[in-house]
Amino acid sequence: MTNPSLLILPGDGIGPEVMAEVRKVIAWMGEKRDLTFDVSEDLVGGAAYDKHGVPLADETMAKAQEVDAVLLGAVGGPAYDDLDFSVKPERGLLRLRKEMDLFANLRPAQCFDALADFSSLKKDIVAGLDIMIVRELTSGVYFGEPRGIHTEGNERVGINTQRYTESEIARIAKSAFELARKRDNRVCSMEKANVMESGILWRDVVTEVHEKDYSDVELSHMYADNGAMQLVRNPKQFDVIVTDNLFGDILSDAAAMLTGSLGMLPSASLGAPMENGRPKALYEPVHGSAPDITGQSKANPIACILSFAMALRYSFDRGEEATMVEQAVEKVLADGARTGDLMGPDGGTPISTSEMGDAIIAALNAA
Ligand code: IPM
Ligand code: MG
């Protein structure tokens, strides 16, 4: 049997720093769990632009299509702010999502007990939080046509198009209902059906899919602006939230802060099953490239390590190992290990990115 394959794309900013810590966990799986991956590494984002003049080379795209899973760090940075839109670092990530057809973006927001004090919200509002945002990732206003900036009369006009087909809505709704069945069996769908036709269709199709195949799951609907408010008012009312590409982008950043830090939130982007039965998949932390702390060993590697745990669970059917990684993270946090982003009200001394990685390995060894 051949080893499962991983393509690592560290990308820009703190991407390479946090990915170095994930590599320790990957190596640990080979040594201690008889789970060896064939790992290759390549460039994405600004790093790819610097070498190839594009944020994702065709060869890298082809490799991503072939491997069992892609692990991505982060893309973007101030050095690339003035680049033409078509070659901005973010276009590399969006190309991966689109060409691999990774329509289902899973963003679990969990508040570890040890961090309940660190959220900007009161402890009792976030303690024990465990929600899953399911964001549609390959359509909507991110990709809709027409788009662009053109001139009308004597002024410029910027255009983007929110567009969803029934089948695009139906497949993400199914993903959300399937996930809910493995959790607390509740789905809240968010759109703006009060002002957008695409929102009306979204609500209709989610309701149809529910009636047809998932009536055992509890379904509710909410306008996305109210959803944002409810997420900070009483986030524990939710189990699974399903929403479109743009609302999902915004709501998941808000949800991240409920966990104490954006440095804690992992994600999985999944597509249709490949020939080997595994879904097309890319795993990445929700945080960005964090140029303000790049190169200072301050970044929190936990979101990226937890993204690898999601890969173990969703791509490689190794839920046991995924849980081991998650419990190791929980343990080091309970023991008080903190990177700078996790400094609570009473301060303390932050540890470095690699010290956090080492602490997680030590916890894995001790388990
Ligand atoms: C995210 C990011 C991306 C997005 C950017 C980097 C293109 O914010 O994954 O949430 O907007 O989807
Ligand atoms: Mg975002």
Q: Considering the chain, what percentage of its residues have pLDDT values greater than 90?
A: 92
Q: How far is CA 97 from the centre of its chain?
A: 12
- Residue 28 has which token pair? 């640990």
**287 CA from centroid of ligand 2 (Å):** 8
Digit-coded pLDDT (tens) for 135-160: 999 999 999 999 999 999 999 999 99
Task: Supply the pLDDT for residue 98.
Answer: 97
277 alpha carbon – ligand 1 mean position (Å): 27
Helices and strands per DSSP (H, E), number in the chain: 12, 12
* Residue range 10-26: mean pLDDT, rounded: 98
The average pLDDT across 14-42 equals 98
Q: How far apart are CA 292 and CA 340, in angstroms?
A: 12
Phi, psi (deg, nearest 5) at residue 167: -70, -35
Tell me the best of 56, 90, 135 to mutate to test the pocket of ligand 1, counting ligand atoms within 8 Å of each CB and taking the most: 90
**Ligand minimally distant from the alpha carbon of residue 253:** 2
Residue nearest to ligand 1 atom 9, measured at CA: 286
Report the pLDDT value the prediction gives residue 256, as an integer from 0 to 100: 87
Structure tokens at 317: 């059917």
CA dist 54 → 93, 234, 314 (Å): 12, 43, 30
Least confident range from 1-5, 35-39, 233-237: namely: 1-5
| pLDDT of 62 | 98
Could you identify the atom of ligand 1 that is nearest to the CA of residue 74? 6
What angle, rounded to 10 degrees, do the helices at 89-99 and 58-66 form?
40
Q: Is 256 in the pocket of ligand 1 (CB under 6 A)?
A: no
Boundaries of every domain in the chain:
1-111+264-367, 138-258
The CATH-assigned architecture of domain 1-111+264-367 is: 3-Layer(aba) Sandwich (3.40)
The CB-based long-range contact list for 248-254 (8 Å cut-off, 24+ gap) reads 248/105, 248/107, 248/133, 248/134, 248/135, 248/136, 248/137, 249/135, 251/133, 251/135, 251/190, 251/224, 251/227, 252/107, 252/109, 252/133, 252/135, 252/286, 253/286, 254/228
101 in contact with ligand 1, CB cutoff 6 A: no
The proportion of the chain whose per-residue pLDDT surpasses 70, expressed as a percent, equals 99
What's the alpha-carbon Rg for the chain, to the nearest Å?
20
Is the confidence at residue 250, as pLDDT, over 90? yes
Give 138-258's CATH code, choosing from 3.40.50.150, 3.30.465.10, 3.40.50.2300, 3.40.50.300: 3.40.50.2300
The reported pLDDT for the residue numbered 345 is: 66
Residue 11: which of 46, 60, 49, 63 has the closest Cα? Answer: 46
Q: Is 117 in the pocket of ligand 1 (CB under 6 A)?
A: no
Supply 78's token pair.
């101030």
> Which of 249, 250, 262, 284 for mutating ligand 1's site (highest number of atoms within 8 Å of CB)?
249
pLDDT of residue 36: 98
Does the C-beta of 90 come closer than 6 Å to ligand 1? Answer: yes
Q: Residue 327: its pLDDT value, please? A: 97
What phi and psi values does residue 38 have, to the nearest 5 degrees?
Answer: -85, 110
Of 50, 168, 152, 120, the C-alpha closest to 341 is: 120
* Cα–Cα dist 177/154, whole Å: 49
pLDDT tens figures, 258-317: 988 888 999 999 999 999 999 999 999 999 999 999 999 999 999 999 999 999 999 999
pLDDT in the model for residue 346: 67
Order of strands, sheet of 38-41, starting from the edge strand that comes earlier in the sequence: 38-41, 5-11, 69-74, 279-283, 268-273, 104-110, 130-136, 240-243, 186-191, 218-223
Active site residues: 142, 192, 225, 249, 253
Mean pLDDT (the chain, rounded): 96
Q: List all residues 6 or more positions away from 155 whose beta carbon is below 8 Å from its beta carbon.
A: none
SS3 104: strand
Least confident of 94-98, 120-124, 201-205, 214-218: 120-124
Distance 58 CA to ligand 2 centre (A): 25
Q: What is the pLDDT of residue 69?
A: 98
Q: Which residues surround ligand 2, an ion (CB under 5 A)?
A: 249
- C-alpha 3 chain-centroid distance: 25
